[in-house]
């Protein structure tokens, strides 16, 4: 089973030292002074983050959601999704990485400091009036000032990707616990394949998402009860059943090798999607996240 990192009895003390005090609201000045990481919503121009530096201008931009996508921390310990360290090392070497979360900045920066030990994350976009109005948490990728042909977003909430389905990869919710979770391993394989094909063939993100067998296009329910089309990351079992790009050399293991590398616990049962069909699970995340 992939290892799972867990930090402390309560992660809240990391970003709110006084558990009984109220954390300050988001402000550009406070964010710059408290954590001194990369600029995060400090640009006062048209876009949320500074322009992509010249030295990495040819890299793909990977936008990552935080809660229930990479980690889980609801008034308790911080659970880190298995495979995080390997994913971050790859992103540091090959991509521009932006974390975009509807959580507040103290919490977001504290989590990023825990999961990113190699400096992969270039910017953090947190809850802020410039994009979050309290009722809609759609992440308008155009506000990043990046070319959408080279930008991909990884989310667990369909509503956050609305309007950018051609750039989005939807993953199962992560809620900690001890069940095996291979999502980040499969995501890493997808990103490696995408980076290689982008460099060799010039394939764009929308082209790749629409054609790769590593994703399946599905109708998913949104938090408003409506349906939308989304590209969902396939699981380990699905990987055994589909052909892979002849270009990619990163995930060529057979079904037997995959089964031995990623064993399923004896007591874990297949999860059912709404409607009764097996496939990518979607337990709908709440738009109104816990206020820290």
DSSP alpha helices (H): ranges in the chain?
12-15, 28-34, 84-94, 105-115, 183-201, 205-211, 236-239, 255-261
Fold of the 5-261 domain:
Rossmann fold (3.40.50)
Residues ≥6 apart with Cβ < 8 Å to 114: 7, 14, 78, 80
Burial class, 54, CB count within 10 angstroms (exposed 0-12 / middle 13-18 / buried 19+): exposed
In this prediction, residue 36 carries a pLDDT of 38
Query: CB-based burial of residue 7 (10 Å sphere; 0-12 exposed, 13-18 middle, 19+ buried)?
Result: middle
* Distance, CA of 219 to CA of 231 (rounded, Å): 9
Show the CA angle centred on residue 89, arms to residues 88 and 90, nearest 5°. 90
Distance (Å, whole) CA 71 – CA 65: 9
Q: How far apart are CA 106 and CA 109, in angstroms?
A: 5
Tens digit of each residue's pLDDT, the chain (292 residues): 444 455 444 445 444 544 332 333 343 333 333 333 454 555 467 899 999 999 999 999 999 999 999 999 877 789 999 999 999 999 999 999 999 998 888 999 999 999 999 999 999 999 877 777 776 678 999 999 999 999 999 999 999 999 999 999 999 999 987 778 999 999 999 999 999 999 999 999 999 999 999 999 999 988 888 899 999 999 866 654 444 443 333 333 333 443 343 344 444 443 333 333 333 344 433 333 322 2
Q: Tokens 């049962």 belong to which residue?
A: 269
Half-sphere exposure of 250 (CA within 13 A, CB side): 16
pLDDT at 266: 44
Residues contacting 134, CB < 8 A, separation 6+? 288
Kind plus residue range of the DSSP H or E element containing 164? none
Nearest 5°: phi and psi at 278? Answer: -75, 150
Q: Do residues 183 and 83 lie in contact, with contact meaning Cβ atoms separated by under 8 Å?
A: yes
Residue 81 in tokens:
């999704």
> 3-state class of 121 per DSSP?
strand
Domain ranges of the chain: 5-261
Write down the residue that tokens 């802020």 correspond to.
128
């Amino acid at each position: 089973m992939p290892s799972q990192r867990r930090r402390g009895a309560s992660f809240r003390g990391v970003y709110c030292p006084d558990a009984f005090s109220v954390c300050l609201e988001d402000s550009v000045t406070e964010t710059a002074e408290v954590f001194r990481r990369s600029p995060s919503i400090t640009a006062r121009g048209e876009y949320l983050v500074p322009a992509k530096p010249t030295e990495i201008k040819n890299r793909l931009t990977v936008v990552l959601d935080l809660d229930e996508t990479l980690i889980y921390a609801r008034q308790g310990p911080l659970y880190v999704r298995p495979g995080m360290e390997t994913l971050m090392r790859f992103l540091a070497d090959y991509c521009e990485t932006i974390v975009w979360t509807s959580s507040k900045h103290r919490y977001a920066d504290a989590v990023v400091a825990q999961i990113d030990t190699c400096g992969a994350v270039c910017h953090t976009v947190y809850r802020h009036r410039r994009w979050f109005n309290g009722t809609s948490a759609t992440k308008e990728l155009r506000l990043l000032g990046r070319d959408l042909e080279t930008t991909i977003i990884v989310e667990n909430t369909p509503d956050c990707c609305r309007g950018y389905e051609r750039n989005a990869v939807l993953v199962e919710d992560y809620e900690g616990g001890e069940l095996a979770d291979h999502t980040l391993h499969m995501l890493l394989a997808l990103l490696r394949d995408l980076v290689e094909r982008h460099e060799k063939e010039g394939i764009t993100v929308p082209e790749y998402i629409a054609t790769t067998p590593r994703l399946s296009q599905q109708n998913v329910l949104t938090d408003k009860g409506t349906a939308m089309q989304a590209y969902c990351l396939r699981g380990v079992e699905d990987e055994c059943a589909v052909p892979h790009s002849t270009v990619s050399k990163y995930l060529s293991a057979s079904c037997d090798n995959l089964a031995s590398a990623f064993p399923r616990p004896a007591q874990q049962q297949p999860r059912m999607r709404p409607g009764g069909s097996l496939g990518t699970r979607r337990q709908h995340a709440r738009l109104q996240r816990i206020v820290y």
